[in-house]
Structure 1
Amino acid sequence: MKSSVEIIIRTTHSLCPKCSKKIPADIVEYNNAVYMKKTCPLHGNFKLLISKHSWYYKQLTEFYFSVMPKNMKQSRFYIYLSNKCNLNCPICLLEPNQEIIPDMSLKEIKSVIEKNKSSRFYLYGAEPTLRSDIHDWIKMLKKNGNIVNMHTNGIKLENFEFLQSLKDCGLDYVSIQFDGFNDTIYQKLRGRGLLDIKRKALDNLKYLNIQTGLNVTIARGINEDQIKPILDFAIENPFIKDVSFATLSHLGDAQKNFSPEELIMPDELIDMVEQQMEGKISRKNLFLFQKFYYVLLSFLNVRRCYNFQHTALIRENGSFQTFDELFEFDKFEQNLDKYRSTIKTNRLKANIFFFLNLLTNIFSSHFLKKIRCLPLNMLLPRNIRNPKMPSKLLLVSFGTVCDPYKYDAQISRYCGQGFVIKDEKGVFLSDSISGLTLQNKHINNK
């Protein structure tokens, strides 16, 4: 039954979307939906729809805050290599091709890398492939035992020899922007037609068997209908290991070209995928997988943000089965709830309980037969993990990057993204919102 009375779920802090001042915020339930409400003394009231499904949000956030460790070492670092770009995307979170932040040198970042060996580093920018010394960056990161992932628009990957040279240096993974199968989409989101270039880049990645992720930005009224075609394409191509659907964020050039009313929260993406995939991927699938995922993160003492929801698909004869169905999570869920209750008083006991039940579930289900190669190398020490993912496994995520509208201080402290940033004082590590803040120079983050 819908309630016409607002109920406060929890209180937090956020930012004013106009002046970026830190202000109190309430997360409230109203008519079975969840909103963030906040008031700036100078700019008035703001209200953001977070979820149309209050049961999902309340149960999952309660579980999330209960099991996530308070002190976690960061293991994923984004290195902002360059402000230069060969595109002028209307939806860009940054403000490229301006002298906002000087490019950092290998010498400047060397100490940061040496203190965080055996981690995962993401090379991004504006466009990292425009760095003339990109090969040296990859070599140095690999020398220190790291996994190297490059985020790119893919334009330079149309050149086979260039991509081959990056692979020869040790590049492990490429995350490429891919917003759909229609050039009109790219003209609206990226400023020009790019479909043929994207296809050629993907052909090269496939030929060289480089692990690839598709980074998809979903914009209201432009490409919501592309979720199923992109997932179908990824399922048919095992070199694609993950698909990350992200929504517009009110940062950089995007805030100039799109209104706040066009913002989509990840929860709405889940509704879209459930509808387009005709229930084969459902909210229940994500709910069960997320609970397992949060417990696994807690067990491994790893950070991840609540604002990125995940599921996993197992490829099978041109189709797929959801990970939670294969793993029989409906039977395993009570063990996850027991972990949550046990960890409050005894973390060691909770971790032993989870590990033993995890192994029991693996060997008693059809999981081993289906996937053949366990993705449980993540349980091994980082310096001996195999960065290769099983060919049958496809990870799918639905998320958003923090901006002044969406920023939730309680969630941000678990941010899974460390930014390696350079400013006037030198190179340092920052969290997600601070990193994007510094790059854009439009949020007063003091």
Structure 2
Amino acid sequence: MMNSLLSGKMVGGIKQIKTESLCPTCLKKTDAVVIEEDDGMIIRITCPIHGTVDNPHLFHDPEIYTSMRALMAARDDKWVPDAAFHDVINRCNMNCPQCFIPKVQSPETKPTIGQLESEAKSHKGSIIYLFGGEPTMQEDLTEIIELFSKRGYETSFFTNGLKMADIEYAEKISRTKPMVVLSIDTQDQKQGLEIYGADVLHEKIFALDNIISLNLPVFLNVVLRKGLNENQIQKFIELLKSKDGKVRGISFSGYWNPSGTKQDDIVPVKEVIEKIKQEIDCSLEDFIDCTLFGLYFSQLIRKITDSGGRRISACYLRLYLVHYHSRLTPLNRYINLPKLNEKLRQIYDNFQGTFFSRHKAVIATAIAFSMSIKKTSFIGIIIKNIRYCTPIAFSNRHPATMLIPRTSSIVITRYFDLSNVDLEFIPYCSLGAIEEGGVMPFCLREIMRSAKRSREG
């Protein structure tokens, strides 16, 4: 599978890889090729009506592009979204200049709990992200979280933090035990004024402190825009270190305009990693090995237990970290991940689905882990955390660093926009969005919504 996905046709000495895309003008599916040029990867989209257009590929760097296709080739399934965004309101209490969600949405929508439950029936994954607008503007948020938690979903919500800065409100939310994804793009007040259009940084910091004090798992979502806040990467790594595992992870997301993102606004993945390296001893290979580990291990968990197992998105790079002796250390330093990944893949390939095969796979997996450990100190870390991992592995939830104490993760995230949709990647996405009648890839939903708004004026 991997060889066929990574192969391409040489045309005039240039390697071209066939794919499909959307015409940026009419949005109809059409033929496309990905080409490596001197300045990076481009996607050439050819519409029989609107002609040919060349745009930078989402993974513009050739090494990143090749790595992401290899990760995609390692997946065992297509379009099985593990997580889905569910809009609970389209109103917000902020007006951030760079938010991809439109500033004015009319008419205001606030679905009922019954409507939200009915729409979510099409989602077969294990996670629901409550989205907006700003979910905390929905008066029934606690009831909505409780509803989906009772239905067996791991329920999370995105927030700008303004209402979570109020300890009484935060305590009310904490009783439902959700995971919180806090949007915070800078720790610099001057930058904050430019990013948010208002002086709200103190509220965001108060919100983070409240969330941590209430023992809620929290993940930080940091949107990076070239020339604006890429100098904050190291600051957020320092914050992650200082919280000693109480912040479960950081997602460094690329600035995104679903209608078409300018290359000048993008902080390249390698540049993000270089800045992370100033605080953590890591490399692109570490991100790839960790992402493959998450992929292979979760696929194997799904095979063995017939449930659970996080599905890694085809557009993410992930680095797993261990907090130990006031340091953040990549998982790769404790475990020989290339060796372990190969063993996990072999166990997965040999799995036959029988009762005997399940037990054999469990034993083989335990042996593979033990044979891959490079530092004996990691055994103590495993023993401390095994009581958290075991119930997760054998439930409809999934082993994730956000649920295991003294571990964190860093995720580098990018989304396709209307100018560069590569439909070879989209079927391997694990991040959906709930729409009337079903679930669709999140980035495609936002692209379609953005195009519709443009047409309507």
TM-score range for the pair, normalised by the shorter chain length:
0.7 to 0.9
Alpha-carbon separation, structure 2, partners of 1:263 and 1:406: 15
Tell me, yes or no, if the aligned pair for 1:154 and 1:176 is still in contact at 8 Å. Answer: yes
Alpha-carbon separation, structure 2, partners of 1:331 and 1:409: 32
The alpha-carbon distance between structure 1 residues 114 and 61, as it changes in their structure 2 partners (threshold 3 A), is closer
Alpha-carbon separation, structure 1, partners of 2:401 and 2:148: 14
Q: Which residue of 1 aligns with 2:222?
A: 216
Alpha-carbon separation, structure 1, partners of 2:211 and 2:183: 13
The alpha-carbon distance between structure 1 residues 50 and 281, as it changes in their structure 2 partners (threshold 3 A), is same
Q: Which residue of 2 aligns with 1:77?
A: 84
Runs of at least 4 residues of structure 1 off by over 6 A? Answer: 349-354, 383-388
Q: Which residue of 2 aligns with 1:260?
A: 262
Report whether the alignment pairs 1:369 with 2:380.
yes
Q: Which deviations, in whole Å up to 9, do the C-alpha atoms of 1:364-410 show, x marking residues without a partner?
A: 42333235314744532216989972221101100122321232212
Match for 1:182 among 188, 197, 220?
188
Alpha-carbon separation, structure 1, partners of 2:131 and 2:118: 19
The alpha-carbon distance between structure 1 residues 114 and 333, as it changes in their structure 2 partners (threshold 3 A), is closer
Q: Which deviations, in whole Å up to 9, do the C-alpha atoms of 1:204-250 show, x marking residues without a partner?
A: 11211211110000001001111111012012212210101101122
Unaligned 5+ runs, structure 1: none
Alpha-carbon separation, structure 1, partners of 2:283 and 2:397: 36
Give the TM-score, by structure 1 length.
0.84
The alpha-carbon distance between structure 1 residues 71 and 152, as it changes in their structure 2 partners (threshold 3 A), is closer
Alpha-carbon separation, structure 2, partners of 1:88 and 1:5: 49
Tell me, yes or no, if the aligned pair for 2:25 and 2:50 is still in contact at 8 Å. Answer: no
Match for 2:393 among 379, 402, 423?
379
The alpha-carbon distance between structure 1 residues 108 and 160, as it changes in their structure 2 partners (threshold 3 A), is same
Tell me, yes or no, if the aligned pair for 1:127 and 1:153 is still in contact at 8 Å. Answer: yes
Alpha-carbon separation, structure 1, partners of 2:447 and 2:344: 37
Tell me, yes or no, if the aligned pair for 1:313 and 1:323 is still in contact at 8 Å. Answer: yes
> Secondary structure of 1:382's match?
coil
Q: Which deviations, in whole Å up to 9, do the C-alpha atoms of 1:61-114 show, x marking residues without a partner?
A: 135224332464x33221101110111122212214312673321112323446
Residue type of the alignment partner of 1:269: V
The alpha-carbon distance between structure 1 residues 180 and 386, as it changes in their structure 2 partners (threshold 3 A), is closer
Residue type of the alignment partner of 2:417: D
Matches within 5 A, 1:271-286: 271-278=271-278, 280-286=281-287
Match for 1:240 among 230, 235, 247?
247
Alpha-carbon separation, structure 2, partners of 1:273 and 1:442: 35
RMSD (Å) for aligned C-alpha atoms: 3.3
Tell me, yes or no, if the aligned pair for 1:362 and 1:368 is still in contact at 8 Å. Answer: no
Report whether the alignment pairs 1:416 with 2:427.
no
Tell me, yes or no, if the aligned pair for 1:335 and 1:354 is still in contact at 8 Å. Answer: no
The alpha-carbon distance between structure 1 residues 407 and 354, as it changes in their structure 2 partners (threshold 3 A), is farther
Match for 1:203 among 209, 219, 239?
209
Q: Which residue of 1 aligns with 2:197?
A: 191
Give the TM-score, by structure 2 length.
0.82
Alpha-carbon separation, structure 1, partners of 2:316 and 2:105: 30
Tell me, yes or no, if the aligned pair for 1:174 and 1:211 is still in contact at 8 Å. Answer: yes
Matches within 5 A, 1:267-306: 268-278=268-278, 280-299=281-300, 300=302, 303-306=311-314
Unaligned 5+ runs, structure 2: 1-9, 303-308
> Secondary structure of 2:251's match?
strand
The alpha-carbon distance between structure 1 residues 56 and 108, as it changes in their structure 2 partners (threshold 3 A), is closer
Number of aligned residue pairs: give it.
425
Tell me, yes or no, if the aligned pair for 1:26 and 1:38 is still in contact at 8 Å. Answer: yes
Q: Which deviations, in whole Å up to 9, do the C-alpha atoms of 1:290-343 show, x marking residues without a partner?
A: 222222243337543211111111011221110122122143344356568x47
